[in-house]
Amino acid sequence: MYQDVLLLYLIQKFCGERTCSGIYHLLKGKKSSQSVQDSYLFHVAPFFHSCSELSRSYFDTRIGHLQRAQLIRSIDANCTRFVLTENGVKQLDVFPKSRLIPDGLQIIDQINEEGRFWLKLQLLVQTVSALCQGQSTFLPVVRQPEISEHVRKLILSGLPTRDQLGRIVFNELYQLFLTMPDGEANSLSALLSGWKASGLTLDQMAEVSGKDTLECSILFKSALRRMMHLFVESPDQFPFLSRLLIGRQSSLSKTAETTRKLLQTGLTLHDIANERHLAVSTIEDHLVELTLKKVNHWLPDYLSAACEQRIMNVAGLLKTRQLKPIKNHLGEHVSYFQIRLALAKNAVSGRKVVRTNEQ
């Protein structure tokens, strides 16, 4: 049930302007400029990287089910773009919004770090569990050298005994879980492995809980984001586990952060492309990302207020966020890059392009 409503919601938000692949890449968290920008343009950023284990075959199966149930209908010859039918709208409207989008899912300031953070948390809990049993040799759930080194340094950072370490980790996790709804706490804790106790997979969790796999994934991700947010906002309450987040905490991708620093030195877009030996289009992607994260003091150098207004007027007139129709209407005086900047700026400022499901 949840998985179908989730897809109905995203299809409605995309409003036929992107193919189903766009929705799939959003849920998987594909780190492309298109996927990142779409998450903001269509106001679905909380769902970015929310179902990272979703397979394409399973996704396509659910889309097919929605078609057969006449909850969505295709609007193109290739059957890749969809809008909701009247029945689809009705089914979506009766589903509780709070269940569809848990509060924790909307905490997206650490979204670029959540994958690495989860790996570190898994390995730490497994390692501490083994050490408390007097075992120093075990098959780790994570085998990435960078993650392993971070956890090793954390464990060797001055705590006197294994038992004390175990109590500290247990107590901090327990206090964290008390801050979460039961469904989220259960989902995250069930995925953790301990000594001779493997964590559940999402499919196993779904079977045990009676929920579908996508809802389990959403609940887990909501819990994880709550945890990371608490570590950033209240590190003194969780002095040991919050150190899992020590290091880079920018909401920007690493490569966009590098471009931001070069912009601050006064370099132009083309200067930065030459400096970094990257294509100009790649640097444009970075500037769009900066705009989405409201790091846009440089924006007037590339997009005047008058140009922005023309672009948004046309987007409103055409009722679209697709680049090509806007570009065709405006002609050669406005670039695709300027259109992307204008749409990005207005997406995060709350201005929406009004659309309907009428095609």
Q: The whole model's pTM is what?
A: 0.87
Residues paired with 197 in a beta bridge: 194
Q: Please name the residues in contact with 74: beta carbons below 8 A apart, sequence gap of 6 or more.
A: 67, 80, 81, 82
Rounded distance between C-alpha atoms, residue 321 and residue 302, angstroms: 20
Burial 228-246 (b: 16+ CB within 10 A, else e): bbbbeeeeeebebbbbbbe
**β strands within the chain, DSSP E:** 72-74, 82-84
Domains of the chain from N-terminus onward: 2-99 (1.10.10.10), 114-245 (no CATH), 254-349 (no CATH)
**Residue with the larger pLDDT of the pair 70 and 352:** 70
- Residue pair 127/119 in contact (Cβ under 8 Å)? The answer is no
Distance from the Cα of residue 61 to its chain's centroid: 23
Sign of CA dihedral 78, 83, 84, 85: negative
Task: Calculate the average pLDDT of the chain.
Answer: 91
Identify the pLDDT of residue 356.
Answer: 42
Identify the pLDDT of residue 359.
Answer: 38
Packing angle, helices 336-349 and 305-318, rounded to 10: 80
Q: Please name the residues in contact with 229: beta carbons below 8 A apart, sequence gap of 6 or more.
A: 104, 107, 109, 110
Reported as a single tens digit per residue, the pLDDT across 12-60 is 999 999 999 999 999 999 988 889 999 999 999 999 999 999 999 999 9
3-state secondary structure of 119: helix
Cβ burial, residue 17 (10 Å; 0-12/13-18/19+): buried
Read off the DSSP letter of residue 247: S
- Token output for 255: 């490569």
Identify the pLDDT of residue 295.
Answer: 82
Reported as a single tens digit per residue, the pLDDT across 200-246 is 999 999 999 999 999 999 999 999 999 999 999 999 999 999 999 87
